[in-house]
Amino acid sequence: MAKVQTSCPRCKTLVATEVEQIFDLNQDPQAKQRLLSGQVNVLHCPNCGYDGMVGTPVVYHDPEKELLLTFFPSEMGLPLNEQERMIGPLINQVVNRLPLEKRKAYILRPQSMLTFQTMIERILEGDGISRQMIDDQQKRLALLQRLLSIPAAELRLEIIKQEESLIDEAFFSMFSRLMEATLAQGDERSARALGALQQELVENTAIGKKIQEQSKEAQDVINTLNEASKTGLTREKLVDIFVDSAESEVRLTTLVSLVRNGLDYTFFTLLTEKINTFDGDKKAQLEAMREKVLGYIKEIDDQRQGQMLQTKKLLDAILASPNPGDAIKEHIQEIDEFFVELVDQELKKARAAADLDRIGKLQKITAVIEEATAPPPELALIEELLGLENYDERMALMQSRSEMVTPEFTQMLGGLIAQSEAQKQPEDLISKLKEINRIAVRITMMAAMKK
């Protein structure tokens, strides 16, 4: 990314902003995510508060989908020959980075997009997301905003009934993302409003009741596994749990996702032996269940393999940069468990090969990840408080660390309480968090009185 000086469209103040013109998935698998996020090429004016996109040429390349798209902003007011002069070098950069064996006919015919939105829609279309799907998502968002703006519960329920066709799994998925973002920001008031609306939607829509039932089934599976783990979760126990869950798709998919590593050759040998103890319809049902489980395992493994390939491309790009420590910071939002696992594997290989240069680069990446993922001190204190037995112990600990009982600490507590209530966490956990919150308020008041 390059930093350029550009004029604010509103107040004409010169503002330095970062501009990214090439989004090449051949070099950076995460480029699409950045482009679609709407957080690139954005100008933030400190003078008038304007927020908007910077008018700059953009080239997007996805070799797997054979897409080479260009966009030139009309507000730049340049003639066609000037546009081609500016876009040409960007396209050449993309083509020159592509190995000869991968240079197909599509790179000779870049598709010019009239608007930036048209480019976004074309990219989404390549992922199987149609214009109709985009419009439907916008309708769902408008409905959610409308429901949140209505204080009267009776009117909300009436609208929910009228618009139930829009309230589907995609609606609840969007709702969950909004809830997560609100909780992450520590906005307790909005989180409570969203939690109350979510409960209304669950109780008063067909899909909500279905999701609630599926959630209950999934929780039952977790409880069953936890109970079995108390005396050791053996493969024999796993076989019995799968046999008892044969009639439920939700229970089976939940089980496979939680115990994938235990579903090996030994497990399937034991499962087959168990199936052979039955006859007739029950045996046929269990044989069908075994095939479903094998299918679910393949889906999980294929998805994991795809994610690991994308992660490998990202790690290779970071290692190839002049300073991997700085490069990883630019991609810190894309780091997940797959990336951490891959870095650990590569570090072991590098040590085995005594590759000091690679070891040094990987250690820099590890250090940045550890720093970025370390829990804040306030959260560490809350976890320590939850581990104590009673009020007096919690009060003593918080008094000994009263300097940490800050507005940020109480804001984090409020967010955790709202999140726990919205997710229907155990009452014991919620009760402990509320007690910690009461102690924090008391300590804050005592400090204020002393002043």
Q: What is the pLDDT of residues 285-342, one digit of tens each?
A: 999 999 999 999 999 999 888 888 888 988 998 898 888 888 888 777 778 888 888 9
What's the rounded mean pLDDT across residues 15-34?
86
Domain's final residue, options 65, 100, 126: 126
Residue 277: Cβ within 10 Å count:
10
Q: Is the pLDDT of residue 39 over 80?
A: no
Domain's final residue, options 304, 334, 360: 304
51 touches 11 (CB < 8 A): no
Here the tokens at position 402 are 């009263």
Q: Is the pLDDT of residue 68 over 90?
A: yes
Q: Is the pLDDT of residue 179 over 90?
A: no
Shared-domain flag, residues 297 and 331: no
Whole-number pLDDT of residue 77: 83
What's the rounded mean pLDDT across residues 172-197?
76
In a domain, 439, yes or no: yes
In a domain, 251, yes or no: yes
Residues near 175 by Cβ (< 8 Å), separated by ≥ 6?
144, 194, 198, 201
Rounded CA-CA distance 71/117 in Å is 10
Rounded CA-CA distance 242/248 in Å is 10
Rounded CA-CA distance 416/425 in Å is 11
Shared-domain flag, residues 238 and 145: no
* Count: domains in the chain: 5
At 423, the pLDDT band (50, 70, 90 cuts) reads low
Shared-domain flag, residues 243 and 267: yes
Shared-domain flag, residues 245 and 300: yes
pTM: 0.57
Using the structure block, give the residue that is written with the tokens 């400190």. Answer: 46
Q: Phi/psi at 113 (nearest 5 deg)?
A: -100, 130
98 touches 63 (CB < 8 A): yes
Shared-domain flag, residues 170 and 192: yes
| 4 vs 94: which has the higher pLDDT | 94
In a domain, 217, yes or no: no
Structural domain that includes position 37: 2-126
Shared-domain flag, residues 170 and 101: no
Rounded CA-CA distance 90/79 in Å is 18
Rounded CA-CA distance 428/434 in Å is 10
Whole-number pLDDT of residue 188: 67
What's the rounded mean pLDDT across residues 402-414?
81
Q: Is the pLDDT of residue 264 over 90?
A: yes
Q: Is the pLDDT of residue 187 over 70?
A: no
Q: From the centroid of its chain, how far is CA 21?
A: 25
Cα angle 40-343-300, degrees, rounded to a multiple of 5: 80
The strand pairing partners of 60, in sequence order, are 23, 69
394 touches 385 (CB < 8 A): yes
Rounded CA-CA distance 412/429 in Å is 15
172 touches 201 (CB < 8 A): yes
354: left (phi over 0), alpha (psi -120 to 50) or beta: left
In a domain, 94, yes or no: yes
In a domain, 172, yes or no: yes
Shared-domain flag, residues 8 and 80: yes
In a domain, 272, yes or no: yes
Residues near 369 by Cβ (< 8 Å), separated by ≥ 6?
328, 332, 335, 339, 340, 343
